[in-house]
Structure 1
């Protein structure tokens, strides 16, 4: 039986960390200004990176540590704020309900030993339930424990397994299907970028996407450039997480 949930109206554009990684158009990633810029440029979804502070507040940052080397999980929310990090609540404040939310959950080693209520996925559950009632939302993570926990404790929220960088396509699709995900998130480099030499044994984009769809999965690809985003969309990829939102929107329209 198909488990496809119709999360996306394909193809859709997800702004990576907002308008893109690093600083794009003068806006630093994972800030309110970056999210607003991505929306203005045509993204229908925003990806946010979520991790927990020392006092169990969810903050938005991709890296596990600040540039000075201090681990975010060792800092209080006040200390994080002093470094310009938003809380998840601040990140969502003002985000239009028509914009979908892709929550990339960054777990920490301490999630293995801390009481269950303090773990990153547990802290996130109330926010997910609230947001799912007013906007499209899905959770993705490199950590399969997050995917399984959200599937168990917030079954109305779609999940996406994002195996790892340059993940083998076979394991990505089979693993996401086996964990009951709605979505598989595939590194663009795993498909093969334009100009790459053929790799023996690597399935084509068409074959991979078709197999995922038959398994009941939608396919998200991260982070192709506009040319490859359009190429992957032609092969049926349902959404792309991108660093160049306006360029990708234009490429998809041309395609």
Structure 2
């Protein structure tokens, strides 16, 4: 079991995507994928926090959603120190061990051709091995090959397949189950609540099938007003941009 209290509320990139005001302190803002944002999410009631991790030219790991910096430079061409981004090692050292993390791994184009020892998964594996002894972890990615690698290298760390906008749920569930993963993360546009789809069975049925296949199901970016519907359908976790709003909506 990945999530003890369900549905778990997972702060997206910390408190949420972008620069957000800290709840209760609107004069203070925190940037996504930073320690202050992560701690603000926990303070606001998140039981888990999602962070984005990618690699740099000097084989370091930094927190960043995109393959480029805000200025447009490719991280694969920059050393970590020149990127201006938080290093994963520094973030993990700064976080209390009780902070549970969903590590969303962003592989890069060069992972297709670089030596296996330089690829994102190989760099990340020893970090995860150490952290798994300190805190609850889940690794998610859009890249099933990375997840398969980590599944075999670190069987103690659960992995979850992410699917893109409106990716058919009837493909996602058997894909994640067939690959031997423990979780499946689906955007709200794939779940039939925000975007009704006549080809989709009721969400409760789909989640039930996923559970019977051994998967825990994450809803990616539901709004606070929709959160109770996902909870009623049996969704195990929600990765959200409005932590206090979703926490309040779930009551």
TM-score, normalising length: structure 2: 0.94
Alignment partner, residue 24 of structure 1: 20
**Contact in 1 for aligned 2:203/2:233 (Cα 8 Å):** yes
Judge conservation of contact 2:2–2:138 (CA < 8 Å) in 1: no
Match among 229, 243, 246 for residue 244 of structure 2: 246
Offset from partner CA, 1:143-202 (integer Å, 9 cap, x none): 0011100101111100000122221101111110011011111111111344x4x32211
- Residue 32 of structure 1 and its aligned partner are, at CA, apart by 1.2
Q: What is the match of residue 219 of structure 1?
A: 217
Report if the CA contact (8 A) 1:7-1:136 is conserved.
no
Structure number with higher relative contact order (C-alpha < 8 Å, ≥ 6 residues apart): 1
Distance in 1 (CA, whole Å) between partners of 2:106 and 2:2 is 25
Q: Write the mapping of 1:67-216 to structure 2, written as runs, cut at 5 A.
A: 67-81=70-84, 85-194=85-194, 196=195, 198-216=196-214
* Contact 1:183–1:218, Cα closer than 8 Å, also in 2: yes
State the Cα distance separating 1:16 from its structure 2 match.
0.2
Unpaired runs of at least 5, structure 1: none
Give the one of 11, 36, 41 matched to 2:39: 36
Structure 1 vs Structure 2 CA RMSD: 1.2
**Which ranges of structure 2 fall in alignment gaps of 5 or more residues?**
22-28
| Residue aligned with 2:219, SS | strand
Deviations 1:123-155 (A, max 9, x none): 000111111111110100000011100101111
User: Any conservation in 2 of the 1:8–1:239 contact (CA below 8 Å)?
Assistant: no
SS in 1 for 2:94: coil
The answer on 1:12 being equivalent to 2:8 is yes
1:67 Cα shift?
2.6
Is the 1:14–1:241 Cα contact (8 Å) retained in structure 2? yes
Query: Residues 53-105 of structure 1, C-alpha deviation per residue, up to 9 Å, x if partnerless?
Result: 00000000011112322111111011113xxx100012222322222110000
**Count of paired positions:** 244
CA contact (8 A) 2:217 2:235 kept: yes
1:104 match: secondary structure = strand
Deviations 1:8-43 (CA, angstroms, capped at 9, x unpaired)? 421111000000001111111111111111011011
What is the CA distance between 1:122 and its match in structure 2? Answer: 0.5
Which of 54, 59, 63 is residue 60 of structure 1 equivalent to? 63
Partner secondary structure for residue 93 of structure 1: helix
Kept in 1: contact 2:2–2:158 (CA 8 A): no
4+ aligned runs moved over 6 Å, structure 1: none
User: How far 1:203 sits from its partner (Å)?
Assistant: 2.0
Q: Is residue 2:225 matched to residue 1:231?
A: no
Q: Give distance in 2, aligned partners of 1:18 and 1:71.
A: 23
SS in 2 for 1:50: strand
Partner residue in 1 for 2:24:
none
